[in-house]
Every structure is written in C-alpha cells, then in structure tokens.
Amino acid sequence: MEICVVGAGYVGLTTAAVLADRGHTVFCTDVDTDKIAKLRKGIIPIYEPGLTELIKDNQQRDTLFFDTDSKKHMAHCPVIMIAVGTPSAKDGSADMKYVKHVITAIAETIRSYKTIIMKSTVPPGTADWVEEELQQRGTRPDLFDIVSNPEFLREGTAIEDTVHPDRIVIGAKRSEAAMKVQEMYASLQTTFLLTNRLEAELIKYASNAFLATKISFINEIARICDAYSADIMEVSQGIGLDERIGSRFLQAGLGYGGSCFPKDVNALDYVASSKGVKLDLLHAVKKINRSQIDIYLNKITHALGEWTEKPRIAVWGATFKENTDDIRYSQAIALMKKLTHRGYAVYAYDPLATPELPSVIWCSSPYVAVEQADVLVVATAWHSFLEADWHKVKTLMRRPVIVDGRNALDKKNLELHGFAYMGVGRP
C-alpha cells in the first residue's frame, strides 16, 4: 500500500519505518522543515533504539520517504495516517489544533477515496467530529472512511512494541474500512480487535489510565511497606504472580511521567467531567503520583539531617524513563526543581538530556556529578547507572548515601560496598 503518515514524532516515525519495512511504500511528512531535512540525510531527530538503522535501510530500499509537503502525498496515497501530537491544553483537555490542521489539508486535497487512520490519541467522539468536519468542508461522504487505530508503543522499546503488539485495535463504521487497515498490518502476528470508533478511542484512554493506576497503586502499597519495613519488591512479585493481576507495571518508584500517562489521564478526566462523570479513582491516581516526589524529598532531607554547609545532591537521569531522550513530564526533573527550591546544590547527569533548569549544574559524566555529593539520587534507570563502578562512586562522594528513585539498583551489592541505600518500600 502507499501510505502517507502525517507527523514524524515518536509514534509517526516508528510506525512509518515499521510499515515501510513490512513492504509498504510510506511517505512520512512533517511541518518541521529542519526535522525533515535531517531525516532525509539519515539523521534521526529522536533517540529510539534501532530506529536509525530501520529508517536508513528502508530509505535505501526506496520504501520510506520524508517530505514537508503533506498535501502532495495525501493527494496520491489511498491511506493517510494522522500521527501529530495532541498535547495537554491548559484546562487538561487534549489540544486538537494539530489534528485540525491535518483535517483542513485533507479537505483541500481529497479527490479520490482515502482510508484516514487516526493514530494520534484523541478524545472519544473525534472520529465522528472529523467526519462531520470533512463533510462540512464539501468532501463527499463516499470519498473517505475514518478509522480509529490507537497506538500502544512505549518509548525506548517502540520498534519491538510495534512489531509485536499485544493487540491491534481497529475502530471503524464500515467493515470494509476495518478490513483495509487489518490488511495493512497483515504481516504482524497478533490479535486484531475490530470494534466501533468510539470504543477504540476509549480503549486507548482507558488503557493508559489503567496502567497509571497500577503504578500509583503499587506506589501506595510501597508507602505501607515503608511504614512496616517490608520489601515492596517481594510484595510486588507476589501480587504479580496472580495472572489476574500480572507482573508488569508494578514497579514502585518516583512515579510515572512521559508524554502519555499524565496527558491522557488529564484528558480522560476532562471528557468525563464534560459529561458530568466524576472520576474519583483517577483523581487519587494523579494525587499519589504528584506526592511521590515529596516522599523522596522527605527521605533525602531525613538522610541529610542537620547541615551547616549547603548539601550537594547528585541526580542521575533526567528523561522520564530509560532508553529515551524524552523529558516531557519527567518526574526526575520535577524532583530536581524541588531539590533546588529547598536550597540544595544539584549536580546532574543524563546520557542524552541536559535541559536548562535554574540552578541545576550538568556534569560531563555520572562520576563528575557525584564528586563531594552528600546524596546520590538515581532518578532514571539507565543501564549504565545500574552497572556503575560503585567503588569509584563511594570514593568520590562526601557521604555514601544512595536514593534509588526506581527501585532498580542492587541493594545488597550497594550495602556490601558500604552505602546507605534508600528506595521506596525497601527496608
């Protein structure tokens, strides 16, 4: 198939590359001229393991093309996939302005039948709204189908998640349109759930809200573990062995961040309240996630005790999780801001991100960051942090205190090295 993917972000780029690799011809477009110029030269603007090679391979095979002229490719491709961002607006709703731009462009160019796939995460009712919008702009109803096909890939494992998804959800009004999208994914071995558009839209929000709930749930149980000096790692393992619960997304720590969970929980809350539905559970999920930072702050303050000289805190990790360069809604950054606010000197290191933050000093290596530190906080579970030279770290630090923001370090090993180790829910 010839497919036009609009939006070369984390989702659009990965999906375009995988579809091209699976035998389709994909034209991936973006309004960002600089991004497209780089992509054409094989320079990938984001960090995603394996993506550079996949894109280059398919550019060489002439199956993947990049362009700023989306209208040109919308006009000739029978399949258009919308993958532009839908960030949180101030009131928590999903900001649909980028989707609106794309709809306007489609209305202006459409001459032949198109299957329009909504890949961006959008509020329930969006497919119906797009359909009306196109018709109001004079597009004949027989010239298009709108299909809701939400994306579930995670940053850091985006290719693997796209090639081996747990399921592919296809929401369509007409079965012919659903079949067309299923055919596009025919090379992927998975369960296809064919449903209506509204349900497909809700599945995406509900999935992310449920995963966020799982994380806040385990973080709340970790608080009880702290009170009893019990180990959340054991508790989490025991819970997860129940197949009805499952072991994934039960890792306690600093809480969830990223471009999806915070935004989608807010957007679901917004649409629910617009219908008069109050989401008590999700409000609690958000509250727990916010206060998780304070739990860590208190641990750090407690570890520092009384001080005369300004405490020096090393923070390893700035991205919202490992294996990505994405810092959107990063809990690591939220923590750094609070640490500087308390008057501590913050020396930070991240393998990929060095965002400008008032009073945070970025260091050239994790070891430079820990020099003379009173506490080391590991805020993102990058592999290189887990495998650090702890002997070296100990000799560099002023006091050997480690706060594990992801419960990801080897506690026993650190204690053998002479560190005082603190996670959340770790005795």
The tokens for 196 are: 């209506």
Q: Between residues 121 and 148, which has the closer beta carbon with respect to ligand UDX?
A: 121
Contacts of 402 (CB under 8 A, 6+ apart): 375, 376, 377, 378, 409, 414, 419, 420, 421, 422
Q: Binding site annotation covers 250?
A: yes
- How far CA 4 is from CA of 66, 117, 178, 354, in Å, comes to 10, 10, 18, 34
Q: Which pairing describes strands 114-118 and 79-82: parallel, antiparallel, or unpaired?
A: parallel
Cβ-contact 346, 375 below 8 angstroms:
no
Distance CA 176, CA 181 (A): 9
Classified as helix, coil or strand, 3 is strand
| Of 171, 151, 146, 125, residue with least CA distance to 274 | 125
Query: Whole-number minimum distance, CB 86 to ligand UDX, in Å?
Result: 4
Buried b (16+ CB within 10 A) or exposed e, 271-299: beeeeeeebeebeebbebbeebbebbbeb
Q: Between residues 207 and 398, which has the closer beta carbon with respect to ligand UDX?
A: 207
Q: Between residues 70 and 397, which has the closer beta carbon with respect to ligand UDX?
A: 70
**Which residues bind to ligand UDX, rule: CB under 6 A?**
6-12, 30-32, 35, 83-86, 98, 101-102, 119-121, 151-155, 208, 211, 215, 249-251, 253, 255-261, 320-321
> Which is it for the CA torsion 365, 367, 373, 375, positive or negative?
positive
Cβ-contact 216, 289 below 8 angstroms:
yes
Question: Is 260 annotated as catalytic?
Answer: yes
DSSP annotation of 88 reads B
Query: Whole-number minimum distance, CB 48 to ligand UDX, in Å?
Result: 10
Query: Whole-number minimum distance, CB 16 to ligand UDX, in Å?
Result: 11
Distance CA 154, CA 71 (A): 29
Q: Binding site annotation covers 328?
A: yes
Q: Binding site annotation covers 214?
A: no
Query: Whole-number minimum distance, CB 142 to ligand UDX, in Å?
Result: 26
Element (H, E) at 46: none
Q: Binding site annotation covers 152?
A: yes
Query: Whole-number minimum distance, CB 75 to ligand UDX, in Å?
Result: 16
| Of 78, 140, 70, 128, residue with least CA distance to 101 | 70
Which residue number has the CB closest to ligand UDX?
9
The gap between the terminal CA atoms of the chain, to the nearest Å, is: 56
Q: Between residues 58 and 236, which has the closer beta carbon with respect to ligand UDX?
A: 236
User: Tokens 């299909």, residue?
Assistant: 147
Distance CA 87, CA 81 (A): 18
Q: Binding site annotation covers 97?
A: no
Q: What helix, strand, coil percent values describe the chain, rounded to 5? A: 45, 15, 40
Q: Between residues 107 and 368, which has the closer beta carbon with respect to ligand UDX?
A: 107
Distance CA 230, CA 244 (A): 24
Query: Which of 4, 28, 225, 260 is labelled catalytic?
Result: 260
Q: Binding site annotation covers 42?
A: no
Q: Between residues 30 and 133, which has the closer beta carbon with respect to ligand UDX?
A: 30
Q: Between residues 144 and 320, which has the closer beta carbon with respect to ligand UDX?
A: 320
Q: Binding site annotation covers 406?
A: no
* 249 backbone φψ class: left, alpha, beta (φ>0; ψ -120 to 50): left
Query: Whole-number minimum distance, CB 196 to ligand UDX, in Å?
Result: 20
Query: Whole-number minimum distance, CB 226 to ligand UDX, in Å?
Result: 16
Q: Binding site annotation covers 204?
A: yes
Q: Binding site annotation covers 161?
A: no
The tokens for 204 are: 């995406």
Annotated catalytic residues are: 260
| Binding site per annotation, positions for substrate | 152-155, 204, 249-253, 257, 321
| Binding site per annotation, positions for NAD(+) | 30, 35, 86, 121, 155, 263, 328
